[in-house]
Each structure stands twice: as structure tokens, then as C-alpha cells.
Chains A and B, each alone.
Chain A
Amino acid sequence: MGKTIIQKIIKNNTGIDAKPGDIVTVNVDRVMIHDIFIPFVASKFEEMGFTKLWDADKVVLVYDHLVPASQVDDTRHFKIGNEFVEKYGMKNIHRSDGICHQLMTEAGYVKPGDIVFGTDSHTTTYGCVGAFSSGIGYTEMASILGTGTMWVKVPETIKVNITGKLPDNVMAKDIILKLIRDLGADGATYKALEFAGDTVKNMSVASRMSMSNMAIEAGAKCALFSPDEKTAEYCEITLTDKERDLVADSDAVYCKEINYRAEDFVPVMACPSNVDNVKPVDEIISNAEGGNIAVDQVFIGSCTNGRLEDLMAAAEVLKGKKVAPFVKLIVTPASRKIYRQAAKNGTLKILAEAGAMITHPSCGLCCGRAGGILTDGEVVVATNNRNFLGRMGTSKVSIYLASPKTAASCAIEGRITHA
């Protein structure tokens, strides 16, 4: 019987011809820990009785949620992190370079076919280069740091085929939101997603990243794209035969197949306060009282949509225009590299002239720990991945998730709309 991509990755890692439902122990290729959880990982690691890391080169620590610190207690996380790095001889630490998920692929820590775990649910992101990556808790991370292994249940796979050309006002974000709506917030729980079709082949790695990033919002364990020439160029590698072979066999077995025509997609938003509460923007407007939902703030950034193509897409909409006078537009590049590129190619200038506040690269407002938190009754349109109650301020803030193009249009109009 043929294999899905996840079955091939597990076979290459363990030598076992595993089928969905089997429990196997995998050898971990890389792990990522971020600032929120490093104190807990460090204390569990020592409580478990480990005295050295299984492989210091395979461990990456990123400060991103709390950078720069906005509360006095946050600095404790950096102190503990720095001590851990020193004590166990780690070299891979990023103190202000950007968001963990951006850095893991951008800085070359993840390659096609790798098995990677991170202390963050959006670790699914690295499926964009054909890696099996998933989020875990800090206790499990501590045990990997000591052993280099973890048990996994081999998931069934849902195949998503997308063919054709996307409309100009639609981005990869609209595709993944629509898929989350169609699957539901638990529709892919314990399962792998596999993306295929010419629309996906023609997509940049950055766009694929937006999609694999949000797979967890349907509960998925991982979200895989077969490595191709675009992947090789992004990772700055030449694909090996093994990497080229990370394509599903023609007789692979899926638990579900979903087919989309790219031309059918429209700009959508995830409405408050669940990510699967997705509606076309036109429907949201027509159902609103007086056909109008005023917007107080717009956030463009995060590991979902803070990449150069996202900032450029927003700049294309905002060029020569002004943000509505009552709207605060916050733009947060996902990494220092992206910040520099956007400064160099004029994107930041366009955004600043339109009235955006451009912040340092970090998680920023996405996790409600940075400037820009909101209060009761306010409405924010944001390009990140979650709109849960209380995530960006009080529990009476309405968070709408959208693509960078849609978000930029809302900033200009001061109400919910699309490009």
C-alpha cells in the first residue's frame, strides 16, 4: 500500500513501515523553546534528573513573546533562559531576531523531512518546507532535551487539492480560513493535512507558511507541503533524492479528500470569537446593522502573516492612501531580516506614510502581551491566527482575523471591508 507524506517521513526517521494508528518512537531532529515556557522547561529538565542536553546543537531558544519586556516579571524569563544556555552549552539563541516560527525556517534550522517539536501550538508551520513539526508542552520538551526521542501516534491524513488561479484580492490566508471553516475547529484533530494541486505548487513558501501555521486551528497534528524547487531556494539547499521523494504515493490512503477551485475563493474573516467562525467579508457587511462595522484598530503581523510578501501586499493597498483618522494601524514584521528587507525595498516607507505604527519584530499584539491591547466594545481586524476571548485585551473585544490585503483595506476605510 502506498504512503502519505507523513508515513514517508516517519519511515525515513525510524525505519518502520508504520500505518495510521501505530505508536512509534521517533528521533527528534530539532526542537524550539520560546521565552514564555523556558523557565518551566528548565525546571522540569532538572527535576527529571538530566545533567546534559542530548544534543545542544539541536536545541533552539527564541525570545519573542515577551520582547521587549513590557512587565517587570517578564525579565525573569530572559534571566532563566540565559542561565540555561550558559549552563548547557547552547549556541542557538535568538534574543530579539523575531518570531520563533519565522526564525526556525528562515535561519535554516528546519529542512525537508525533519521531525521537529516546539513548545508552541503553531509549530505546525514548518510543514511549509515538508517537515513533520508539531507543538508539545514543556514537560514533554524537557524529556526530549534529555533523550532526543518522543512517542507519536502515526496520524491519518486529510488531502486538500487546490487547482486554478486565485482572485487578486484573495491570499493564502483566505484559503486556510475557509478550510478551517469547512473542517471545523476539531475537524483535523490528531490528523495530518497534506496540500497539493497547481495552486499550491505556484505558491511562495511564505504563503505555504501561512497555511501550515494555522492548521492547528482545525486541530491538525501537522500540515505538509511536498518540497520542491521553491522550497530548495527558500532553504538555500539542493534537494536530495530522499527529500524529492517526500511526495505522496499515487495509491496512498486518505481518511478524507477535499477539492477546491482557486477561482471560487473570496476574501473572508474569522469572526469573534472562534477561528472556525469564518464568513465571506461581503456577507459580514450585509448582515451588519446599517451595513457597517466600525474598526478601532488593525494589526498586520505575526507568524501567520508578518512576512515580506504580507507587508508588501498591505503596502500595495495602502500606497498613496491614509489610514482612517480614528484607526490605529500596527505593523509588526515577523523577523529582523524581514524588517530590513521591507526597509530596503521601500515597503516600510509606504506603510509609515499611510499612517502605520511600525514596531520591532516579535509576536507583538497577537498574544496580547505587547502594545495595542484593546478594551470593551472595541473592534480589531488582525492578520494573526487566533481570535479567542480575551486574547488582545478584555473579553469584550471583537477580533476579526483576515488577510493582510483585507486588513489594509479596513484600515483605510475604518470599517470592515475588503480589497
Chain B
Amino acid sequence: MDKFTGKVWVLGDDIDTDIIIPTEYLALKTVEDMAPYAFSPLRPELASKIKPGDIIVAGKNFGCGSSREQAPEIIKTLGVKCVIAKSFARIFFRNSINNGLLLIESGQLHDVVTEGDKVTVTINKCIEHNGNEYPIAALPQNLVDIINAGGLVKAMRKLNGLD
């Protein structure tokens, strides 16, 4: 079973897609070009501090707002291993699965975690933090299928007999 440990960045409730990537940067050519501006309205320094393998922990309704898929793509581009939030907005949730960004719902972690802490995630089982274990739900099978295929693009390539 997949298990990983990462350093935590803590954000609040209702982190919207205009915070994750403001509209003014959406016409840049690639998500790599956009990534340095991630979270800039709220924390301009954050994108440059996030290291591959880090974990974002947030409150409720993470990713609310627009349908811009650059939001999960940029978070993935920054190297974030997964986002753990109390809840996710639905379009952001679908977009993340389709792009292979792991999202985990936990009603408890956000209330006890401090920025800079380390947490360990065991997929479909639990999160460990400061010696405490917080259970997490397993993903529905159809989403597991998309993730196992390597995202929606790869699933469709397979459908079209390309891979």
C-alpha cells in the first residue's frame, strides 16, 4: 500500500481558484509559466517555498470557484504530493483526479496541524501526525480506474489504441 511522508503548508477555508491562479496569468502559454504565481493574492511567497513532496493542508471547500484546470495542474507542477482538506469543490475534485493530483478528505487534520509539521499518509487508510492516526475514506472504483490508467488523457489514449 502507498505510504509517504511530507512537510505541511497550511491554508484556510474556501481557497478559491482565483487565489490558486489569478485570471490575469491564465493566458500564459504553459502551466510551468503560471506556477510561480500560484496562491499569489493570498501568499505571494508560497510558490517559491513549496518543495517537491510537500503537502498542502486546508480547511473546507478547497478549490471553489472557476473550472480552470490550471489550478490542480499548477499544484501538481509545484511538486505537491497531495492536498488534504476538510472538503473540496466538485469541479476541482474532478479536475484533480483527471490530472493525477491526489486529494484526501480529512475533517480533523486541519484543526491540529501547524505549518512545517510532518505528516504521513497511507493511501485509502489513514493520516499520521504527532503520534495520532486519522482515518481516511477509500476512493470510488471509477476514480481509482482513472488514476490507475495514469489520468484521463492516458485512459483515452488507451481507448483509441495508442498506448
Contact = CB atoms under 8 A, between A and B. Distances in A.
A, B from the same assembly? yes
Interface of A: 23, 36-37, 40, 44, 47-50, 65-66, 71, 73-74, 76-77, 118-121, 123, 134-140, 142-143, 146-147, 151, 185-186, 189-190, 219, 221, 274, 367-369, 386, 388-391, 395
B157 A139 contact: no
Contacts of B75: none
Contacts, number: 133
Given A185-B61, A186-B89, 18 more contacts: A23-B140, A36-B27, A36-B68, A37-B67, A37-B69, A49-B159, A76-B27, A120-B67, A136-B67, A137-B98, A139-B69, A139-B99, A143-B152, A146-B160, A189-B90, A367-B23, A369-B24, A386-B18
B153 interface: yes
A189 B153 CA distance: 26
B142 interface: yes
Which of B23, B98, B142, B157 has the largest count of A CB atoms less than 10 A from its CB?
A: B23
B128 to A, nearest CB: 27
B23 to A, nearest CB: 5
B14 A274 contact: yes
A143 B156 CA distance: 7
B35 to A, nearest CB: 15
Given A66-B27, A120-B67, A121-B67, A186 B95 contact: no
A189 B160 contact: no
A36 B161 CA distance: 30
Nearest to B156: A48
Interface string B50-88: 000000000011001111110000000000000000011
Contacts of A74: 27
A47 B41 CA distance: 33
A48 B27 contact: no
A117 B162 CA distance: 26
Contacts of A388: 16, 18-19, 41, 65
A139 B91 CA distance: 12
Majority secondary structure, B binding face: loop
A280 to B, nearest CB: 22
B26 interface: yes
Interface of B: 14, 16, 18-19, 22-24, 26-29, 40-42, 60-61, 64-69, 87-91, 94-95, 98-99, 140, 142, 151-153, 155-157, 159-162
Contact of A140 (B42, B98, B160): B98
A66 B98 CA distance: 26
B18 A190 contact: no
Given A36-B27, A151-B142, A390 B18 contact: yes
Contacts of A139: 69, 95, 98-99, 151-153
B145 to A, nearest CB: 10
B107 to A, nearest CB: 13
A12 B61 CA distance: 32
B113 to A, nearest CB: 20
A354 B122 CA distance: 63
B28 to A, nearest CB: 8
Contact of B95 (A47, A77, A118, A140): A140
A38 to B, nearest CB: 12
A374 to B, nearest CB: 13
A221 B90 contact: yes
Contacts of B22: 368, 390-391
B19 A389 contact: yes
A219 B61 contact: yes
Nearest to A395: B41
Contacts of A65: 23
A205 B111 CA distance: 44
A73 B99 CA distance: 25
A189 B89 CA distance: 6
14 contacts: A66-B27, A119-B67, A121-B67, A121-B91, A134-B91, A135-B67, A135-B91, A139-B151, A139-B152, A147-B159, A186-B89, A386-B18, A389-B41, A390-B40
A388 to B, nearest CB: 4
Contact of B64 (A77, A140, A151, A185): A185
A294 B67 CA distance: 33
Given A121-B91, A186-B89, A137 B67 contact: yes
A142 B152 CA distance: 10
Contacts of B16: 386, 388
A123 B151 CA distance: 24
A361 to B, nearest CB: 19
B152 A120 contact: no
